[in-house]
Structure 1
Amino acid sequence: MKKIIILTSALLLGVAFMAYLYFSKLGIDNDAKDLALQSATNNAALVFSFRNDKSFYDIIEGQHLIQQVLGKDKMTLLKQLKASIIDDNLLNRYVKDQQVYISVLPDSNKTLNFLITLQIQPENDIKKFYGQLKIKKVVSEKAKDLFTVKINDSLSVYLGVHGQVLTASTSLKLINDANVRLTENPFTEYIKENNHQIKNVLANIYINFNQAPLLLKNIIAGNINGEIALFNQQNSFAVLNYNFSREKILFNGSTELKDQHNYLKLFENTAAQNTSIQNILPDNTANYALYAYDDYRKWLRKLNTWQEKKEILSKTDAVIKRVKNDYRTDLNFIFTNYTKNQFIVFQLSTSEKLGAISLSDGEKTKQLLLDVSTDYNDDIKLFKSADILYSYFGEPFKKFTRPYYTIVDNNLVVANNASTVQSFLNHYKNNRLLIQTPQYLDAMNEISTTSNVSYYINTKNSADIFRHNIQLSFYRHLRADSGLKSFDTFCYQMSADKNKFITNLLLNKYIQPEIPDSLSNRY
């Protein structure tokens, strides 16, 4: 019996040891495969990924919209770098079919730059690749493991060789930074976890919102505050698949919120909604953020839990109690009974900011709010107490401390100045609305009719806002005919899918239909 026990134990130990060796080796192999990814994701907020395959280059060369987004200089650099290495059969055989990563990273002097990363095929000898590099006329050795590739008479690209990984950039700083691979990088792990979603896809973009502040500091002219302050604490990632089109740039995928205190967590596990509140927006709307949920009472309970975690629930409770004591108005009764399933905050081309909340009965709500309001004129009122809307809707209404408001067609519309509310009313009454513009309608036809969170930018209406808030070099690219000027719409749309958000990212340009000569000659 003892011999059987000893033999069985030895057998189990042997199996365990072999399994350990196998999975250890598998782990080492996987780590080796991920070296390029580790370099690409270090400090990156955006990583564009595709397979080094001829079919990809053939397809993307016909996508002139991508070329406009990148800009003439960056596109010329990528084309010439491809011609120097990828189109060279002797060099390309070492990296054929490997994954290519293009990281967008902050560089010196308030600029952004590319870092291109790819890995030499594991079966190829790195020493032979070195040998091939050294005999190329356009490539010269600058230092150990560092080469320069001559693009033209005035431009050279650094080419780093670190183990089996190649990195290329016009910035030596980015090459050196890429050599420092983090042993633990949540962005790397997120990409690896989502690799199963990217099979048979032309290209992907990965977004690391944790690193967004580093990018924004090089783009914006001031501090990261106001609407973009959320990027300071946005522990989120996204993986999006590229959908080829000659008319638009569209990515589809998912966004995942890692921070349990993130305000957007309030919209998880909620059915996506048909929204209509955006239909009241003026035609000079520059941007908006729209939020939707299925039932306000349920959503309010989520908000109260979030407020408790943020240690602000006692403050919001005090606001509600003070209003009840001072004005004998039960705000809980009003908002829980007459708030519908969506609200929005938006900014006009004049930089004025407004918010709106959908109501089930606007006239009844107007009557119930009389005691807590002061008349400005027949149409516009002013809340007597501060932080009412912040208490019931959270972060988007934080800046509307004691706003002016009006109620039109079952929508409560607020702003910090009476003149802003009046401007809104003038547009609304005269039917000068965003929903009437062909550019907006064209863009909305490209994405889902239901969502939970949507961010929208009208690039034309935002021109003056951009001019005062971003660095001159980026503004010039935004307004250049060869750059982003012809794009009229940016939209980032999120629809809850359990603990993730199905996501659409759209950059759209409206192409006005041509009128046939036979018709135009009639007028």
Structure 2
Amino acid sequence: MRNTIILSILLFVAVIGASIYYFTDLNGSEKEGLRPLSFLPKETFLVSSFHNDAITDNIFKDFEIFEALVGKGEMKQWQFWKSKLLRNAALQPYVNGTDILISFHPSGEKIVSLFSIPTNERIQGADLETMIREAASDYEVTARDTLGVRIFDLHADSKDSIFHITYYKHIIFASYSDSLIYKVTDPKQPKLSKAAIDYFVENNSRNSPLCVYFVHDQIDHIARHLMRGQPGSYLELFRSVGGQSAWNLNFKNDALILSGESETMRERKNYLEVFGRQSKTTQSLFNYFPENTASYMAFAISSSAMFHDDLQKMFDARGEADRLSNLFQQSAIDSELLTSKDTRQIFGNEFAIVEQSNQTILGFIKLNNSTEFSRQIDLISTQTGDSLFRFDHANMLYALFGDPFKAFNRPYFIRIGNIVVLASSQSVLQDFKRDWARENLLINTLGFKNFERIQGNEANVTYFQRMRSSSSLISNLLKPAFRSDFRHNSDYGFQDFYSWSVQISGNNGDFLSSIYGIYKSKTALGATPEWTYAFKNRPITAPQVFEHSDTSQFILIQEQDHTVHGIHPSGKQLWSAVFQGRVVGQAQQLADRSIVLVTDRNRLYRFDSNGNGLPGFSLGLSSEPSYSPTIADVGGEQLIFIPAGNELLVYGLDGRRMEKWTSEKLAGRILFDVKVRNNEVFVGTDNGYFYQFDAMGQLLRKEVVEGSHFRSPIAFLSTSDQSLSLAAVDTASNLVTVDFKNPAIKRKIGPWHGKSVFAFDQSGSYPAGRLIVLDGKKLVVNQFPDGQLIYDFTFTQVVDDRPQFFDNAGNGKLMGIASRENGLIYIFDEKGSVIEGFPIESMPLYYYGKIDYNSPTFLLSVRRDRKLYAFKK
């Protein structure tokens, strides 16, 4: 797992960003040259510069990521000196309009920061001392002269808290390390190279609030400073590249994003150089990586000819070309065939290395021609098991693709579609085959979905590190001092990052590069609840929100021991009561605020908003309810219609059984809810029987749809003559229309299979409503009944839970979809956009909307810890 060394470097890169929050909020915007760069020691890990204006300060206000990286203790110190020193009224005229630099440097077992602030004009020594003593009036201030430079020491509680300030060459330098101050002011100390400084000045962007500069030669120094052992193979790809990078910050409150340009020494021996003439292209192999991926490095080629030409030049520079050529000549394969352009094109333009959390390694190669690969597979490999092969000759993949496959001497491999998957042992491949069959994949995780939203999939080289899978391994690689900071959750927030990644793309011999740190923001939806409500047992119903009084509402939910809870919008319990059986379907609220529901123990309940049963309730039912009750005015009386298998049970609000409705036995199980329109009641059954009753419970009409079976609800369909028809979708994907006057009409609406889930939404802004289809991983939403596509969406796992619908402040309905397999819920607006903040990790028991009359929008969701979480949107 030594490859995680690169993550530590990325973490260090990110720490630079934190500085900006504390030293902004000054005035002025005129450009000031980066004069301090020429004084920085050669061993400078990173440099950041930013504009000291109010705009920058507003951008970074309350940016959680900065505090997570720099630490709360350091933050407190920096905030103090920003307010006391840089905001000093006497000093501000000297620093207005300049760029402030913060650089990071090694010091013993620590990394120390240096603040460099050029002034517009010279500050007289006596004036500076007066400013400093005035600003630090609460501290002991001492002054000393060293090597002709006057250093002011501001003493706090401990030796490590002494802040050192000097003014040298019209630049204020400040640090908690006096040895670093000495190096800056000593002209004999080696400094940053002129080439690096020129590159940084050239790439200093006034359009970015923060710029970060990095000399590539520091990679080895950083690795040795942070890590206990040797770096892994990933880092080898970046070592000795020479040159430097300049990145600009792209602001996002749940991610640290640095993007810019990189130049190298164009040393042919370095593998990264073979991508210099490439251009960014789509990467897709991550769709195959297993769920336990800890890190991966993926490569994509835009020009195969250029890649192989530059790869050959790399082998020539390394003195390996003849050896690799002999490898092919000694093999059983015709050398011209193996090294020809046609054979190389059997392999596609993507390949990757994946490191799993158990420290095993997988390789992936995309095939361009699966048929030709199958034809040649016996020429280059030997079958060792069922669909399992092993390459016959060592270093073959190294010769074809270079350094990423250097560790794969003679790997085993399998083929999944047009992908070859490699490993050094057969058992690792067998484990992967099981993960693939069970869809235990990285792309099915919530964190990776958020990662995809922020980072694009176009690059030539992508490095990805997943914190959850590698955090403990990274910790063990760090030296004790850095390990302590990495684990220190109360002061730092390293564990709150989902991932770190680097993307590199060729750019006419140089590179475009980006760094991403995806952060689990505490303000993001689903991160920090407003409140939680703990149950003794597992909740078994989705939360519902009802009116409690004229001034408040309440939440209703049931747990596994059949206790029903009434919960105040603040998360406090209002009441609880044990019911007989599990609630079937959803509860309904009447105008008097009483609640009606049924349970699977053949019970009908009606109770007030305080949980007290109304007189005559609960009632025993003759059959087990099969869906939610429907409450409607029929024949001048409000009735409760209860689907109960092949019976329709009807009760008055006083609990009386309506005997006139008991004569008709239905020829199948009722499909979900009962429909009521114009004093008439409509019912559909699973075996194709459709019924129309009058207000007295007398059967008016019955229609039988031969050859169809149904698993989905029925809906009303208004015809051209304004008469009512019923519509339903059968398991053969036919839209069936029944008007009780003419034979039913069947119309094929899609290639959906028998287990597809269909639902109607007739409460939104579409005239006749929407037809929702969940077919495996596919969501399709069409206008009803013409079938015109509104939108579609593909999930990463099969979805078989029925959609839920929520109010959207008069803008149609929001639709919730639960992906039970990977524990995610999505909320879609009417146009098919996923609401900001989703998907959210949760069990498929949730509610989205207001929880009180004047409350903001909340997500109420149940998680595996038997708690109801309330997240404010």
After TM superposition, the score normalised by the length of structure 2 is: 0.53
Paired AA for residue 85 in structure 2: I
How far 1:225 moved relative to its partner? 4.2
* Residue 99 (1) aligns with residue 99 (2): yes
Asked if residue 376 in structure 1 is aligned to residue 384 in structure 2, the reply is yes
Structure 1 position 363, deviation (Å): 5.0
- The answer (yes or no) to whether the contact 1:324–1:331 under 8 Å persists in 2 is no
d(CA) in 1 for partners of 2:425, 2:300: 26
Deviations along 1:126-171, one digit per CA (max 9) or x if unpaired, are 5532443355533321334211123556621122332222222222
Which has the larger displacement, 68-77 or 363-372? 363-372
2:197 to 160, 172, 188: 188
1:215 to 1:337, Cα distance in 2 relative to 1, 3 A? closer
1:163 maps to 2:162: no
Alignment map for 1:166-181 (pairs within 5 Å): 166-179=172-185, 180=189
Between 1:70-79 and 1:474-483, the stretch displaced more is: 474-483
Distance in 1 separating the partners of 2:512 and 2:87: 37
Matched, 1:276 2:608: no
CA distance in 2, matches of 1:151, 1:444: 45
Q: Cα deviations across residues 256-275 of structure 1 (Å, max 9, x unaligned)? A: 22233232222223232112
Given the alignment, which residue of 343, 347, 365 partners 1:357?
365
Match of residue 505 from structure 1 = 515
Once residues 521 and 73 of structure 1 are traced to their aligned partners in structure 2, the CA distance between those partners, rounded to angstroms, is 35
Whether 1:202 and 2:209 are equivalent positions in the alignment is yes
How far apart, CA to CA, are the structure 2 residues paired with 1:177 and 1:153? 23
| Secondary structure in structure 2 of the residue aligned to 1:401 | coil
Q: Does structure 1 retain, via aligned residues, the 8 Å contact 2:40–2:191? A: no
Where 1:251 maps in the other structure, the secondary structure is strand
- Any conservation in 2 of the 1:351–1:465 contact (CA below 8 Å)? no
In 2 relative to 1, CA 226–452 (structure 1 residues): closer, same or farther, beyond 3 Å? closer
**Deviation, structure 1 residue 448:** 2.6
Amino acid at match of 1:487: F
Q: CA deviation at 1:341?
A: 0.9
* CA deviations over 1:284-305 (Å, ceiling 9, x no partner): 1111111111232332122112
* CA spacing shift, 1:52–1:303, aligned 2, 3 Å: same
Closer, same or farther in 2 for the Cα pair 1:143/1:158, shift >3 Å? same
Q: Which of 489, 496, 508 is the equivalent residue of 2:506?
A: 496
Find the aligned partners of 1:435 and 1:224 in 2 and give their Cα distance. Answer: 28
Cα distance in 1 for partners of 2:861, 2:103 equals: 52
When residues 406 and 266 of structure 1 are mapped into structure 2, their CA distance, relative to the original with a 3 A threshold, is: same
User: Which residue of 1 is the match for residue 848 of structure 2?
Assistant: 516
State whether residues 210 and 231 of structure 1, in contact with CA within 8 Å, keep that contact through their aligned partners in structure 2. no
Pick from 409, 417, 431: which aligns with 1:409? 417
Q: Distance in 2 between matches of 1:486 and 1:477?
A: 13
Query: Helix, strand or coil: the match of 2:180?
Result: helix
Q: Distance in 2 between matches of 1:45 and 1:398?
A: 30
The within-5 A match list for 1:425-436 is 425-436=433-444
Report the residue type matching 1:185 in the other structure.
Answer: K
State the Cα deviation string for residues 472-506 of structure 1 (Å, max 9, x = none).
44344444444111110212112333233333321
Q: Which shows bigger deviation, 327-336 or 345-354?
A: 327-336
DSSP-derived class of the 2:398 partner? helix
CA distance in 1, matches of 2:423, 2:285: 16
Q: Match for residue 392 of structure 1?
A: 400
Instruction: Compare relative contact order (CA 8 Å, sep 6+) and give the higher one, 1 or 2.
Output: 1
1:215 aligns with 2:222: yes
- Alpha-carbon separation, structure 1, partners of 2:34 and 2:206: 17
Which of 144, 148, 153 is residue 153 of structure 2 equivalent to? 148
Residue 521 of structure 1 and its aligned partner are, at CA, apart by 8.2
- The RMSD of aligned alpha carbons is 2.7
Equivalenced residues, count: 488
C-alpha change, 1:328 and 1:494, in structure 2 (3 Å) is: closer
Match of 1:3 in 2: none
2:324 maps to 1:316: yes
Deviation (angstroms), 1:189: 1.9
Deviations 1:453-476 (A, max 9, x none): 111111111123213322244344
**Once the two structures are superposed, what CA deviation does each residue of 1:378-422 show, in whole Å capped at 9, x if it has no partner?**
132222221111111111111111212222111122122222222
Q: CA deviation at 1:200?
A: 2.9
Q: Whole-Å Cα distance in 1 between the matches of residues 419 and 861 of structure 2?
A: 45
8 Å CA contact retained: 2:329, 2:335: no
Kept after mapping to 2: 8 A contact 1:41/1:188: no
Greater mean deviation of Cα atoms: 482-491 or 253-262: 253-262
Which residue pairs with 1:484 in the alignment? 494
Contact 1:282 1:427 in 2 (8 A): yes
In structure 2, the CA distance between the partners of 1:328 and 1:186, relative to structure 1 (3 Å rule), is closer
Counterparts in 2 of 1:298 and 1:284: CA distance versus 1, 3 Å: same
Q: 1:324·1:330 contact (CA, 8 Å) conserved in 2?
A: no
| SS of corresponding position for 1:115 | strand
Retained in 2: the 8 A contact 1:405–1:421?
A: yes
Matched-pair identity in %: 20
Matched AA of 2:142:
S
Q: Per the alignment, in what secondary structure is the counterpart of residue 245 of structure 2? A: strand
Is contact 2:295–2:465 with CA below 8 Å preserved after alignment? yes
Secondary structure at the residue paired with 2:495? coil
Distance 1:74 1:184, change over 3 A: same
Partner SS for 2:468 = coil
- Provide the C-alpha distance between the structure 2 equivalents of 1:476 and 1:324, rounded to a whole number of angstroms: 55
Answering whether residue 122 of structure 2 is matched by residue 112 of structure 1, we say no
In structure 1, distance between residues paired with 2:861 and 2:472: 38
Q: Show the 5 A alignment for 1:9-158.
A: 34-40=34-40, 42-109=42-109, 111-122=110-121, 124-126=123-125, 128-133=127-132, 136-137=136-137, 138=139, 139-144=141-146, 145-152=150-157, 155-158=161-164
C-alpha offsets along residues 196-219 of structure 1, whole Å, 9 cap, x if unaligned? xx0132111112121121122121
In structure 1, stretches of 5+ residues that fail to align are: 1-31
The alpha carbon displacement at 1:63 in A equals: 0.9
1:318-337 matches, cutoff 5 A:
318-324=326-332, 330-333=337-340, 335-337=343-345
Q: TM-score, normalised by structure 1?
A: 0.86
Q: Which AA in structure 2 matches 1:112?
A: I
Query: Equivalent residue for 1:235?
Result: 242
Map 1:256-295 onto structure 2 (within 5 A). 256-261=263-268, 262-295=270-303
Q: Distance in 2 between matches of 1:428 and 1:460?
A: 21
Does the CA-based 8 Å contact 1:290-1:342 persist in structure 2? yes
| Whole-angstrom distance in 2 between the partners of 1:290 and 1:501 | 16
Please state how far the C-alpha of 1:362 moved relative to its aligned partner: 3.3
Paired letter, 1:282 = P
Residues in 2 aligned to 1:60 and 1:288: alpha-carbon distance in whole angstroms: 31
SS at match of 1:443: helix
- Identify, as 1 or 2, the structure richer in helix: 1
Query: Is this contact kept in 1: 2:337–2:343, CA < 8 A?
Result: no
